């Protein structure tokens, strides 16, 4: 079974054992001849895939009534993968979604790492720092790098930990946030688990 999670910049393939990525701008999906079950948040790629019979859009098999209308399919798949806990998907944006007994219980969207670093840089060149993920979030900072790091990471940490539940980190920046949430489980293939559940539920194979 070949699965594919398509984001803004890449096709992320997974066959149950191996994974690989292809550039979203240059990859030609017509070169794949086997059946592919996919999700996609990239409108331009979605148009390319629509006429290809071997590419199966799993979004069509999701019960959207369990979520809100405009919720991204990537967030939905992450929620489908777990029964209880909070999923922190650290990509272009950081999405935080809570699931209780298999039911979506709400979530929020936070600026992604690169977007927020650029925001500080745009305010002033004096704030052009990368984040220090090991900053002590229990003490008020006394230098600029730690000050912006604290300002970005502390509210996120405080809100997530206030729910006192299991945490799952996924997405490209998951390992960076592991310093902020040391008890979290890192599962970089989490979305594929949700996709597999949808395939089984819809009896697609």
User: Where in the sequence numbering do the catalytic residues fall?
Assistant: 74
CA–CA separation, 95 and 17 (whole Å): 26
CA–CA separation, 2 and 34 (whole Å): 8
How many CB atoms neighbour CB 3 within 10 A?
22
Per DSSP, what are the bridge partners of residue 6?
Answer: 11, 40
CA–CA separation, 159 and 157 (whole Å): 6
Beta strands at 2-6 and 36-40: parallel, antiparallel or unpaired = parallel
CA–CA separation, 87 and 106 (whole Å): 11
Q: Is the dihedral of CA 108, 41, 19, 13 positive or negative?
A: positive
How many CB atoms neighbour CB 97 within 10 A?
23
């Amino acid at each position: 079974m070949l699965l594919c999670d398509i984001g803004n910049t890449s096709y992320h393939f997974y066959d149950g054992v191996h994974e690989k990525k292809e550039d979203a701008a240059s990859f030609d999906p017509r070169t794949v001849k086997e059946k592919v079950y996919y999700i996609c948040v990239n409108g331009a790629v979605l148009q390319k895939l629509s006429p290809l019979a071997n590419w199966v859009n799993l979004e069509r098999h999701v019960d959207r009534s369990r979520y809100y209308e405009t919720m991204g399919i990537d967030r939905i798949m992450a929620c489908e993968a777990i029964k209880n806990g909070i999923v922190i998907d650290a990509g272009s944006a950081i999405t935080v979604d809570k699931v209780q007994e298999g039911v979506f219980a709400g979530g929020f969207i936070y600026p992604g790492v690169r977007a927020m670093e650029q925001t500080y840089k745009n305010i002033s060149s004096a704030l052009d720092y990368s984040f220090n993920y090991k900053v002590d979030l229990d003490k008020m900072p006394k230098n600029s790098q730690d000050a912006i790091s604290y300002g970005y990471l502390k509210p996120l940490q405080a809100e997530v930990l206030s729910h006192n539940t299991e945490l799952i980190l996924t997405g490209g920046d998951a390992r960076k946030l592991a310093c902020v949430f040391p008890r979290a489980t890192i599962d970089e293939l989490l979305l594929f688990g949700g996709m597999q559940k949808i395939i089984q539920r819809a009896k697609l194979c």
